[in-house]
Amino acid sequence: MSPLKKIDMHAHFFPRISQEEAARLDPAQAPWLTISSDGENGQIMKGDRPFRPVYRALWDSSMRLEEMDRHGLDMQIISATPIMFGYSCPADRAAPWAERMNDLALEHCAGNPKRLKALAQVPLQDLELACREASRAKACGHVGVQIGNHLGQHDLDDERLVQFLIHCAENNIAVLVHPWDMMTDGRMKKWMLPWLVAMPAETQLGILSLILSGAFERIPKSLKLCFAHGGGSFAFLLGRVDNAWQCRDIVREDCPNIPSSYLDRFYVDSAVFDSHALRLLVATMNSEHVMLGSDYPFPLGEQHIGQLVDQNQWLNAIDRDNINGLNAQEFFGLGDD
């Protein structure tokens, strides 16, 4: 058997998109990249407004590979920075945009195709186009897709989104669900509160919408489904949800089984940044359903990738091997190449 690979399955890229190219999707909203004169730093722009300061590893695979060496990573699975999704744009523009971004993701991986793999984005606002792009991307070498946790006012239990998940299950396409476009009514303007409060809630909302709607009863068990950031608030609040299911019929009305009985239907990553939180997560989900994920290369990602798992005193060697690579190899069908 080949030695265990250490795989970071939650990492982002952002290609060198010009303002002109972004404008073809949406001049005011589509993201593009401006890079400093020394090439080391950049700014993701949204229209004429700065969105997020970034650095070279986000778009330059040679720097990414150097940093992976420093972190002891054998492989990283990259996915779009969620601002690239384009879900609110007309589907006939979002579809070629998704195709272009996916081709650029594979170009990024070409820096070392054995160590860099990619998840595709899809024009989720159109079920047929989304399924088509997911299948095209898989045929081109993507190891799965990444989708946002909602589509405007529609959560994952929306019929179109459930149909998309069924398509992925039937075509053996792994799915990472990433929170995005966080709920906020104006009270979370400061201190990155949308990322700190709303983002974990968005992920929990995505998981609960699939459980409580009964969608998991219709989605094939073969679906490989993972939620980012340790599933957000989900694991910590699962007891509250189970109690509500037992005590209130309106919680039970669409969900025939107790919520905690669906834990074997999905995975989460390990990006929780606290050893007690990781202990709870593994105790809740089982180490067979947790995968190393860093959210690299952003400041809200794990700064020393894998340290939380490697130094966690409550994990045994089997747990660590599962989280560090065995689960991801099986989840993404990576084989031994």
Find, among 243, 261, 263, 239, the residue nearest to 251 by Cα: 243
Three-state DSSP class for residue 333: coil
Q: How far is the CB of 295 from Zn ion (least distance, A)?
A: 4
Q: How far is the CB of 143 from Zn ion (least distance, A)?
A: 16
Q: How far is the CB of 52 from Zn ion (least distance, A)?
A: 12
Q: How far is the CB of 154 from Zn ion (least distance, A)?
A: 21
Q: Which is nearer to Zn ion, 211 or 228 (CB)?
A: 228
Residue 255, by phi and psi: left (phi above 0), alpha (psi -120 to 50) or beta? beta
- Evaluate whether 6 touches 325 at the Cβ level (below 8 Å): yes
DSSP structure class, residue 101: H
Cis omega before residue 179 (within 30°)?
no
Residue number of the CB atom closest to Zn ion: 295
- Evaluate whether 119 touches 144 at the Cβ level (below 8 Å): yes
Q: Kindly report the number of other CB atoms within 10 A of residue 80's CB atom.
A: 27
35 strand-pairing partners? 42
Q: How far is the CB of 228 from Zn ion (least distance, A)?
A: 5
Q: How far is the CB of 80 from Zn ion (least distance, A)?
A: 10
Q: Which is nearer to Zn ion, 295 or 319 (CB)?
A: 295
- In the complex, the residues that contact Zn ion under the rule CB under 5 A are 295
Q: How far is the CB of 269 from Zn ion (least distance, A)?
A: 9
Q: Which is nearer to Zn ion, 11 or 211 (CB)?
A: 11
Query: Cα(85)–Cα(94) distance, rounded to whole angstroms?
Result: 8
Q: How far is the CB of 84 from Zn ion (least distance, A)?
A: 12
Query: Cα(136)–Cα(72) distance, rounded to whole angstroms?
Result: 32
Q: Which is nearer to Zn ion, 144 or 259 (CB)?
A: 144
Sequence-distant contacts of 137-140: CB under 8 A, at least 24 apart: 137/102, 138/171, 138/172, 138/173, 140/102, 140/103, 140/106
Q: Which is nearer to Zn ion, 126 or 295 (CB)?
A: 295
Please say whether the dihedral angle defined by the alpha carbons of residues 138, 327, 73 and 276, taken in this order, is positive or negative.
positive
Q: Which is nearer to Zn ion, 202 or 295 (CB)?
A: 295
Q: Which is nearer to Zn ion, 99 or 295 (CB)?
A: 295
Sheet strands (E) in 121-278: 144-148, 150-151, 154-155, 174-178, 225-227, 267-269
Q: Which is nearer to Zn ion, 245 or 331 (CB)?
A: 331
